[in-house]
Amino acid sequence: MRLGSQKFLYNDMNTNSPNDNAVVRDVQIENKMGLHARPAMLLAELANKFNSDITIHKGEQAVNAKSIMEVLLLAAGKGTTLTIKAQGSDAQQAVDAIANLIEKEKFEEE
């Protein structure tokens, strides 16, 4: 099995219908080592603080942001653009917090 080719698609999270009410934001990985084990852990721990369903997308690949293993499967290096998508009562707060972790805090590695 080739892990890099796996896709975790969440059909309900990939729709762009007018009634979607999802919060979506693109972010770019800027820390030197990319999205390796420690940043994946930090991202998943942060995502688990929210009630919303949260996915991280890299191209057509989408993973559950609350799963460290799935986040690692993105193999997102420095310069990779990811899309954060959340649906639920605290979706905006979830997207803002995860975007802040990735873009401003840079996983606290700078």
pLDDT tens digits for 76-101? 999 999 999 999 999 999 999 999 99
Catalytic residue from among 36, 58, 80, 83: 36
CB–CB of 55/47 below 8 Å? no
Mean pLDDT on 9-23: 55
Domains identified in the chain and CATH numbers: 22-108 (3.30.1340.10)
Q: Is 57 known to be catalytic?
A: no
Give the pLDDT confidence of 26-61 residue by residue, as tens digits. 999 998 899 999 999 999 999 999 999 999 999 999
CB 64 within 8 A of CB 70: yes
